[in-house]
Amino acid sequence: MPEFGGNAFAGNEAADIVIVGGGPVGSALALALRDSGLRIVLLEARAAGGGDARPLALSYGSRLILERLGVWPALAATATPIRNIHVSQRGGFGRVGLAAAEAGFPELGYVVDYGRVAQALAQAAALTAAQCLTGARVIATHGGDPARVQYEYDGEQRELTAVLVALADGSAGGGASAESVDYQQCAVTACVVSERPHNNTAYERFTAHGPLALLPDNDGWALVWTTRPEHARQLCAMAPEIFLGELRTAFGGRTGDFIKVSGRAAYPLQRRRAQAAADHIVLIGNAAQTLHPVAGQGFNLGLRDAWELGEQINSGSTAALGSRAWLNAYQQRRRVDRSAGLGFTHALVELFSNDLLPLRLARGTGLALLGCLPPLKNFLIRRMTFGARG
Ligand SMILES: Cc1cc2nc3c(=O)[nH]c(=O)nc-3n(C[C@H](O)[C@H](O)[C@H](O)COP(=O)(O)OP(=O)(O)OC[C@H]3O[C@@H](n4cnc5c(N)ncnc54)[C@H](O)[C@@H]3O)c2cc1C
């Protein structure tokens, strides 16, 4: 978990905006508001340190936002560029290659681990005028004008009032859940090394149990292997050489033999969409929508949530901030991008996590067709890079 510096907050006071959650999306919002002149307080439950080694594939569009937020230089040195993406299905024909050069981008994306992204954003946020408090766990939020946030800090219960509360507390957060689907799948992440170099190519391979992604990461690969929960448990516990054998069987021989694995971890997967039921409360990032990691869209979408919320706050008068009309305008602004992100990833999971022969044939035909239709490929790349616009 990133460390926060900065200004200690006395509590039981009033702020203009309270951000609940100092993960990458909450910190990005604090940064986007650095010149707003508003009094911002960010509350993060975790004390400090730690972090999470899950790989994040950042789109080129996210890089542009991170540049505007001033944090890209801190990430660039450890970010591995993705220049090609190869998509295929196990046990079926049809494959498609996407290339940055074809789409006119310098790179299709970048692989960085979650901990680094979260830390770079949190450290930059702590240098703004925002008051960033770690070890502050929010226990309740109440809508209204003003909204109220109750939290625990240093063994005490405290309360803040705010014109706007931005919930960026992730999937387990306090937003009212509108719908959720348990995929009955887990993602196993790990660092693996293969005989052949990655040449900045990412692989997405669809198997009957779920998609398997190999992302270029420094001198090796970041693996995101989606499978049944029981299989995920076994994959995390088995001896390294057995794991590498299973990976070989699932992925095939495109990268040569796999020779090393480290840092295995498993994440249960769900799809969730939530909405704030109260005035003066807005949801962003995983608190608003949690996606399956296939196609690596969750953080990219959440970063656009934070960026666009920042733009709406920075460009409008503060008089209407958080009102029903103001919240509706934000919902409307984000509706198409959010629905497209949720719909696209969910459709991929449904369509590809199935071994029925007719579906395998249809998928193969779809991949082959996509490979033959450059305009469609470019449309897909643009959508994955910049999201969908209304
Ligand atoms: C295996 C895996 C691979 C992924 N790969 C990709 C990828 O390649 N590309 C991509 O774009 N996305 C990817 N994602 C999705 C991405 O990780 C999330 O979309 C992203 O982390 C969301 O960020 P967030 O800040 O909204 O939420 P989080 O990262 O969950 O952060 C929420 C923060 O809120 C804090 N918090 C929670 N409750 C409270 C409370 N009560 N009080 C105060 N603070 C609180 C937490 O401590 C945490 O710091 C992946 C996800 C998984 C599981």
DSSP per-residue letters across 140-190: EEE-SSSEEEEEEETTEEEEEEEEEEEE---TTSSSEEEEEEEEEEEEEEE
Is the minimum distance from the CB of 276 to ligand 1 under 6 angstroms?
no
Task: Specify the ligand 1 atom closest to the Cα of 21.
Answer: 34
User: Which CATH fold would you assign to the domain 14-49+115-178+272-348?
Assistant: FAD/NAD(P)-binding domain (3.50.50)
CB 212 within 8 A of CB 226: yes
pLDDT of residue 6: 43
Q: Running DSSP on this structure, what letter comes out for residue 295?
A: T
CB of residue 322 inside a 6 A radius of ligand 1 = no
At 2 the pLDDT is: 38
Instruction: Indicate if ligand 1 lies below 6 Å from the C-beta of 90.
Output: no
Ligand 1 in contact with 341 (CB < 6 A)?
no
| Blockwise average pLDDT, block size 10, the chain, 390 residues | 43 88 97 96 86 89 97 96 87 73 88 95 96 95 94 94 96 71 92 96 86 94 96 97 95 92 95 86 96 90 97 87 94 93 82 68 68 73 73
Strand order in the sheet with 289-290: 95-99, 84-89, 201-207, 210-217, 220-227, 176-194, 258-275, 289-290
What residues contact 387, with CB distance under 8 A and at least 6 apart?
61, 300, 301, 304, 337, 340, 341
CA–CA separation, 192 and 194 (whole Å):
7
> What is the 67 CA–ligand 1 centroid distance (Å)?
20
Whether 232 lines ligand 1, by a CB cut-off of 6 Å, is: no
Is the entire prediction scored with pTM above 0.85?
yes
2 lines ligand 1 (CB under 6 A): no
Strand, helix or coil at 211? strand
Question: Which 3 state secondary structure label does DSSP give 279?
Answer: coil
Evaluated on CA atoms 310, 314, 316, 318, the torsion sign reads positive
128 CB-near residues (< 8 Å, 6+ apart): 30, 31, 33, 34, 40
Pocket flag, ligand 1, residue 25 (CB < 6 Å): yes
Count CB atoms within 10 A of the CB of residue 45.
20
In the chain, the N- to C-terminal Cα span, in Å, equals 35
Res 108: pLDDT: 92
Distance in Å, CA 170 to ligand 1 centroid: 5
Q: Rounded to whole angstroms, how far apart are CA atoms 256 and 344? A: 31
Q: What is the DSSP string of 243-264?
A: HHHHHHHHH-STT--EEEEEEE
Read off the pLDDT of residues 44-67 as tens digits, 9 standing for 90 and up. Answer: 999 976 568 799 999 999 999 999
Given this model, what pLDDT does residue 92 score?
63
CA of 23 to the centre of ligand 1 (A): 6
